[in-house]
Structure 1
Amino acid sequence: MLASPSFEPASQPLASAPGDAASLARTPDDKAMLRAAVELTRDLGEAKAAIFWPDMLASALIGYAALAGAILSANMGIAIACGVLSALAFYRALLFIHELSHIHRTALPGFRFVWNVLVGIPMLTPSFMYEGVHPLHHARTRYGTAEDPEYLPLALMKPWSLPVFLLTAILLPVALLVRSAVLTPLGVIIPPLRRLVWARASALAINPAFRRRPPEGDFARMVFWQELGASLWAWFLIGWSATHGWRPLLIGIGVIALGAVLNQARTLVAHLWENEGETMTVTGQYLDSVNVPPPGWLTVLWAPVGLRYHALHHLLPSVPYHALGEAHRRLTAELGTGSTYVKSSYAGLFPLLGRLVRSTMGQRSGV
């Protein structure tokens, strides 16, 4: 596993092996890089409807068509191929939830509603599960600390933690179904349960210590309608399956589980996970994050919707996914191959996984 080659050619030399996590936390800010990141991308901040809408709609359409093929096909090979295609398409469509957590609420009129109707609610993952949560991951004083909902020092944990982290994603579709069909309705009549479910099971977070604050105002009203839609859909799925057969639902659960595992693998390499809770500089956060730039083409499958530029996204969280490639080209040309900027560029999924595994193997001694 440690020697597994990348499926993609290296676009930049690999960064050095895991080192002193504390030194990364205390990395001083590279002011030239931060200034260039702002100045060179001033014209790239607009979320373009002509890109967002066709991309999201096509991904959802392919996902549903391929899912129908997986359910209806009598040929096992064709059914499996359709299931994999459906998982990849739905995975891309679902990851627009990341963009929704960043774009201004007045941008792309109707996009949030349509995405929730076509993708978020059918996948039992409405946008409220990321909106209001993901921005905390970008907060200057929260990143990499105990208050970051999307951070764990995985590189400093035991080797067994990685397969456990990856395989728990298989349970996600069933957990979401139980949440929407059982826990949410019960929470209406049992307020303490409602508060518990909201605090502990209403966010796409990986930090088990994270507790979500109660929603307020317009956001609370949005949560109400999204949860109602998800609960009605969950009841429909169970009722239909109970009367017409469970095969379609089980295939759907398998498709979503495959996408969830792929996303969990992507999460494993989105950062270096080397911070032990210290507050980090912006440059330290950048160097603890990962870009996997071209020419590798498989990256668009496992890190779609701009997530191949995750480190750059931490520098410029307001730049939409479709502009990150251009931003990367400009910054690379301006700052050069010996700059701090290129130190967050890596060759592909497997070298990054290998680095993470090697780091956890160093944690074998001790309790």
Structure 2
Amino acid sequence: MNSITLDRAGMPSRAKTIRVADDKAMLRAAAELTRTHSQARPGIYWADLIASVVIGYGALAVAILTPSTGVTIAASVVAMLGLYRAMSFIHEVSHMKHSALPGFRAGWNALVGVPMLIPSFMYEGVHNLHHAKTRYGTVEDPEYLPLALMKPWTLPLFIIVSALAPVALLVRFAILSPLSMLSPTLRRIVVERYSALAINPQFRRRMPEGDALRLWNRIESVASLWAIGLIALAATGVLSLRSFAIILAVASAVAVLNQVRTLVAHLWENEGEPMSVTAQYLDSVNVPPPALLPALWAPVGLRYHALHHLLPSVPYHALGAAHRQLTAMVDADSPYHKASYKGLPGLVAKIGRSTMVRR
């Protein structure tokens, strides 16, 4: 799941394409596990989401209401982690069969998507393109940039600009949404360029149609009203500037943490030609146990991001068991073992070193 675009101006003149033959044994084992782990458990989804929301908004309320600076900071950190986990369910929403979890998309939008101005349509119909076998790692992938092949300064910029996401989303929904209803040209621009959680600046989203368009319009209308109302409350003093600043700061922290997680979700070493499924897997990252911190910065199954590219239909709560079983099923020299890493610092350093290599 991604949020801020970055230009490709830092790309070297000679691009790198990863060519790896598919490992049939690994893919057969993954296909077998898909059949045995594809059942989503609604109780887990709802309990996890509601707990994350209660912790996130509860801590945010404490941060706003307390007069103590120390408590405000501590509560803001808790709010950021809780809301980040709740937000991360947008990834599950984009993959799930909604008949298996009736009402979950609507509930997520009501609790998280609209209040945080990241409604599900910003990811649905976009993220699935990232999983298309012929699109991954190419200019047609909305969630891919060859960051490891770009200039070193692009990595800190990639993270820093994400802090502006809450302001950008307020502008998108409070200003551009209503104005675009008056201009078909502006509407096309808003849909194509400002309606996707993507990092590829060349990606242009298609206009939705049919039921998808009707659902989009309903959710966007509510999100637009919420954004306008939030700004109006702050402008009239009903919501104090301190409270508004805390809300924006927590939302910015969520965006930055997500962007850091995005930075280490892949190795970002491909540019150009389509890749085999095995190559896509090896360009992706697992951070399995015994590491503990990934449960915070890569929640809701995102610590098994490489495995997710093999098993995109497997619900997040089953990925841990699938990882353990697949690890035991494949040979010791299987490429499956090569996508697991120890933690965040080593991954950031690895990508950073890649940008230092002169090509």
TM-score (norm 2): 0.94
Counterpart AA for 2:38: G
Counterpart AA for 1:278: E
- Matching residue of 1:34: 27
Tell me which of 350, 355, 359 is aligned to 2:354.
359
- Matching residue of 2:46: 53
Counterpart AA for 1:296: A
Contact conserved, 1:187 with 1:193, CA < 8 A, in 2? yes
- How far did residue 185 of structure 1 move? 0.3
* SS of the residue 1:28 aligns to: coil
Count of matched residue positions in the alignment of Structure 1 and Structure 2: 344
- Matching residue of 1:265: 260
1:343 matches 2:338: yes
Moved over 3 A (4+): 20-23
1:152 matches 2:145: yes
Counterpart AA for 1:234: A
Distance 1:352 1:199 in 2: 32
* SS of the residue 1:101 aligns to: helix
Tell me which of 238, 250, 255 is aligned to 1:255.
250
Root-mean-square deviation (Å)? 1.2
- How far did residue 205 of structure 1 move? 0.1
1:132 matches 2:115: no
Q: Deviations over 1:299-347 (max 9, x none)?
A: 0000000000000000010000000000000010111433111000011
- Matching residue of 1:177: 170
1:192 matches 2:185: yes
Q: Which runs of 5+ in 1 are unaligned?
A: 1-19
Contact conserved, 1:142 with 1:148, CA < 8 A, in 2? yes
Q: Greater relative contact order (Cα 8 A, min sep 6): structure 1 or 2?
A: 1
Q: Deviations over 1:152-186 (max 9, x none)?
A: 00000000000110001100000000100000000
- Matching residue of 2:106: 113
Contact conserved, 1:99 with 1:321, CA < 8 A, in 2? yes
- Matching residue of 2:208: 215
Contact conserved, 2:62 with 2:72, CA < 8 A, in 1? yes
Contact conserved, 2:15 with 2:272, CA < 8 A, in 1? no
TM-score (norm 1): 0.92
Distance 1:99 1:362 in 2: 36
The farther-off stretch of 41-50 and 25-34 is 41-50
Distance 1:232 1:264 in 2: 27
- How far did residue 242 of structure 1 move? 1.6
Tell me which of 324, 343, 347 is aligned to 2:319.
324
- Matching residue of 1:236: 229
CA, structure 1 residues 301+21, in 2 after alignment: closer, same or farther (shift >3 Å)? farther
Identity %: 63
- Matching residue of 1:226: 219
Counterpart AA for 1:299: P
Distance 1:181 1:122 in 2: 13
Counterpart AA for 1:77: G
- How far did residue 40 of structure 1 move? 3.1
Distance 1:91 1:270 in 2: 16
Counterpart AA for 1:45: S
* SS of the residue 1:139 aligns to: coil
- Matching residue of 1:10: none
- How far did residue 289 of structure 1 move? 0.4
Tell me which of 70, 91, 107 is aligned to 1:77.
70
Counterpart AA for 2:297: W
Contact conserved, 1:59 with 1:92, CA < 8 A, in 2? yes
The farther-off stretch of 100-109 and 169-178 is 100-109
- Matching residue of 1:17: none
- How far did residue 273 of structure 1 move? 0.2
Counterpart AA for 1:176: L
- How far did residue 22 of structure 1 move? 4.7
Q: Which runs of 5+ in 2 are unaligned?
A: 1-13
Counterpart AA for 1:218: D
Distance 2:245 2:62 in 1: 14
Distance 2:345 2:259 in 1: 14
Distance 2:276 2:16 in 1: 12
